[in-house]
Structure 1
Amino acid sequence: MDIGIKAIEYTLPEKVLTNEELAQIYDSWTPEKILTKTGIAARHVVSEGECASDLAETAAIKLFESGVISPKDIDFILLATQSPDYQLPTTACILQDRLGIPQTAGAFDFNLGCSAYIYGLAIAKGLVSIGVAQNVLLLTAETYTKHIHRLDKSTRTIFGEAAAATLIGHNGHAIGDFDLGTDGSGKNALIIPSGGARLPRSEATAKEYEDNGSIRSQDNLFMDGAEVFNFSIRVVPQSVKNVLEKHNLALADIDLFVFHQANKFMLDYLRKKINIPREKFYVNMQDIGNTVSATIPIALKRAEEEGRLHKGDKILLSGFGVGFSWGSTIITY
């Protein structure tokens, strides 16, 4: 029996932040400039007091209400987030109780960003393959705007918030082999410097500074866009090549490529560098932005709703970003 993706649902916060609103804050930027640079016209953001667990809970309930499975049949919860409710306890444990999932289920969080969905699929497939679980609920939920300074145009224009719930088990859309990679030397390219044990938050870390027209402090998310771009164009083409070789497939054998929806400029560059035909390369982020760990499952769900996925199609997934961390796999629809 194939171990694979059985269903995906997702949710977006109600609040929407448009380019028109951002252009009123950043004097030199127009809505059109933001759209041209990022490929994003709007992004959904959480309200005060709304957390990643709330989004994950809503996405999971949506999955259960679809009738594909009942909470009582879930025997493992995986939550990918870099915005947990608490330093401890584990947010996945809190969600077990809130969702009414049996106490016999395993649960843990894992701290990854843009590559998290690929790693989550790998973990879930492993759990099912060795018999630890039969029905894994993979939740990817992120609230990056809680970490972003409102005057940091380098990040606030890109990131949106969302959660996705993916059911993995037997008789799903088969998950193939993986190509995974890590380069921790890139940790400073995408980082929240303070707030952990290494650098606790203090009056000093809260001091704001200006950087190329953006304002932030060490308590906020920092992204070196050029370094993240250079990393991505270095590792993603090779990861795609590696995962194709593991499946004994050529580029032409793939029916659809679904990459982490980082931003339009990066996706366009990667598509051209890898020589992927435009019609086989899925981009769908204009109305939601870069939702970090939720971009790939949302893209898969939207592609399905648009009739882009057909029985037997081979879909190459690739996630890459903070860490640095990356991974690719191929699913058979």
Structure 2
Amino acid sequence: MSGNSFASISAVSYYLPSGSLTNEQLSKAFPEWSVDKIMQKVGISTRRIAAKDEFTSDLAVAAAQRLFEEYNLRGDDIDYLILCTQSPDYFLPTTACLVHDRLKLSSAAGAIDINQGCSGFIYGISLARGLIAAGDVKNVLFITAETYSRFLHPDDKGNRSIFGDAAAAVLVSADPAGGKIGRVILGTDGGGAKNLIVKNGAVRFPKTDVQTMREDEDGNLFNDNYLYMNGTEIFNFTLESVPALVKDTLERNLLHQEDIDLYIFHQANKFMLDYLRKKIRIPQENFFMSMEHSGNTVSSTIPIAMKRALLEGKIKKVTKVQVAGFGVGYSWGGTVLQF
């Protein structure tokens, strides 16, 4: 199989679980937070929450099945499956193998997990693009899926107001139709790992029975069995890394800011995105936000927003879309999609 100089996102779908957590429910649990205050701060009214018997593989399969139905695809069309998750069903085997089996993909198709967070969509399409460019495959099914709600302590009002569960599926292919993936910029600073972490539960620090709670600088309660996020440090990292990422991505693709028709960033929260948009001087009409009814779904926010932009007619032929992901790790990545 000869290599290809391009790879395109030729299909995109997503799945949201039916469970939900509304601002009204949060305000009832935390009376000091009004419904209006939550909405103003994070820009989210409802987060979708996986059921107790619904796991990452279930969300991933549902998103892929929707993709197959919407675009008339079959399991035999897929040469490789990449699943991005930080909430796998098991330590081993990889969740991708479980999803591969349930989707009845060919035994000749590879299947692998990648552990990546808010930049995961960019990392995943970069890997898929590389496989296609090498000539090893023609069609990569790339799925992002998370059940972060299981990492959140019931008393952690800050993180519970932000994160939701979801999965998204895209087909990255050698077909020139769709959004051609441009040159990709990636970055890492592991020095920030401690600022967004689930410390206990893996090999270095097993989960404990101790339920002693600590309070962070914003008054949120947490312990090391659950997700901890240092909001101030994450905000500072974002303000430092994302403007440079946007600039470097444009330069790598030989473009200027005025060449971009639509910007789709990781949908972290409204306050952060508004601040970034103003700092980078992106016109509001060119900046797409879509998290109000799903929450911050980690690696799925960009493909979910992309699908909604397509449905709303924001993405048409001859549209350049700059996408940027950033967060846990620290890690970041960006590219330009040419539709």
TM-score bracket, shorter-length normalisation? over 0.9
- Distance in 1 of aligned mates of 2:39 and 2:70: 34
Aligned residue in 2 for 1:326: 332
Per-residue displacement from partner, 1:267-295 (whole Å, max 9, x unpaired)? 00100111101100000111111000000
* Residues 153-168 of structure 1 aligned to structure 2 (within 5 Å): 153-168=157-172
**Which of 10, 17, 40 pairs up with 1:13?**
17
Query: Once superposed, what is the RMSD of the aligned Cα atoms?
Result: 1.0
Aligned residue in 1 for 2:227: 221
Assess, with a 3 A threshold, how the Cα gap between structure 1 residues 68 and 126 changes in structure 2: closer, same or farther.
Answer: farther
- Distance in 1 of aligned mates of 2:315 and 2:77: 27
Aligned pair 1:44/2:48, yes or no? yes
Q: Which amino acid aligns with 1:210?
A: E
* Residues 182-197 of structure 1 aligned to structure 2 (within 5 Å): 182-197=188-203
Cα shift at 1:208 = 2.8
Residue 7 of structure 1 contacts residue 68 of structure 1 at CA under 8 Å; is this kept in 2?
A: no
Q: Which amino acid aligns with 2:308?
A: R
Per-residue displacement from partner, 1:110-134 (whole Å, max 9, x unpaired)? 0001000000010000011111211
TM-score normalised over the length of structure 2: 0.96
Which runs of at least 4 in structure 1 moved beyond 6 Å after TM superposition?
Answer: none
Cα shift at 1:49 = 1.6
Per-residue displacement from partner, 1:195-217 (whole Å, max 9, x unpaired)? 1111111224x433334432222
Q: Which amino acid aligns with 2:185?
A: D
Residue 139 of structure 1 contacts residue 166 of structure 1 at CA under 8 Å; is this kept in 2?
A: yes
Aligned residue in 1 for 2:266: 260
- Distance in 2 of aligned mates of 1:259 and 1:117: 11
Aligned pair 1:282/2:311, yes or no? no
Per-residue displacement from partner, 1:216-237 (whole Å, max 9, x unpaired)? 2210000001110000010000
Residue 258 of structure 1 contacts residue 283 of structure 1 at CA under 8 Å; is this kept in 2?
A: yes
Per-residue displacement from partner, 1:10-31 (whole Å, max 9, x unpaired)? 0100011100000011120011
Aligned residue in 2 for 1:308: 314
- Distance in 2 of aligned mates of 1:248 and 1:58: 38
Residue 11 of structure 2 contacts residue 71 of structure 2 at CA under 8 Å; is this kept in 1?
A: no
- Distance in 1 of aligned mates of 2:333 and 2:116: 12
Aligned residue in 1 for 2:186: 180
Aligned pair 1:136/2:154, yes or no? no
- Distance in 1 of aligned mates of 2:250 and 2:221: 42
Q: Counterpart of 2:225 in 1: which secondary structure?
A: coil
Count the aligned residue pairs.
332
Q: Counterpart of 1:117 in 2: which secondary structure?
A: helix
Residue 154 of structure 1 contacts residue 223 of structure 1 at CA under 8 Å; is this kept in 2?
A: no
- Distance in 1 of aligned mates of 2:304 and 2:128: 18
**Which of 92, 102, 106 pairs up with 1:88?**
92
- Distance in 2 of aligned mates of 1:67 and 1:288: 23
- Distance in 2 of aligned mates of 1:210 and 1:280: 39
Aligned pair 1:78/2:102, yes or no? no
Aligned residue in 2 for 1:105: 109
Aligned pair 1:209/2:217, yes or no? no
Query: Could you list the runs of 5+ residues in structure 2 that have no partner in the other structure?
Result: none
Residue 39 of structure 1 contacts residue 265 of structure 1 at CA under 8 Å; is this kept in 2?
A: yes
**Which of 155, 172, 181 pairs up with 1:151?**
155
Residue 80 of structure 1 contacts residue 110 of structure 1 at CA under 8 Å; is this kept in 2?
A: yes
Residue 237 of structure 1 contacts residue 270 of structure 1 at CA under 8 Å; is this kept in 2?
A: yes
Query: Could you list the runs of 5+ residues in structure 1 that have no partner in the other structure?
Result: none
Aligned residue in 1 for 2:126: 122
Per-residue displacement from partner, 1:83-131 (whole Å, max 9, x unpaired)? 0000000000111101000111001100001000000010000011111
Per-residue displacement from partner, 1:120-174 (whole Å, max 9, x unpaired)? 0100000111112111000000110101001101100000111000000012321
- Distance in 2 of aligned mates of 1:146 and 1:280: 34
Aligned pair 1:239/2:242, yes or no? no
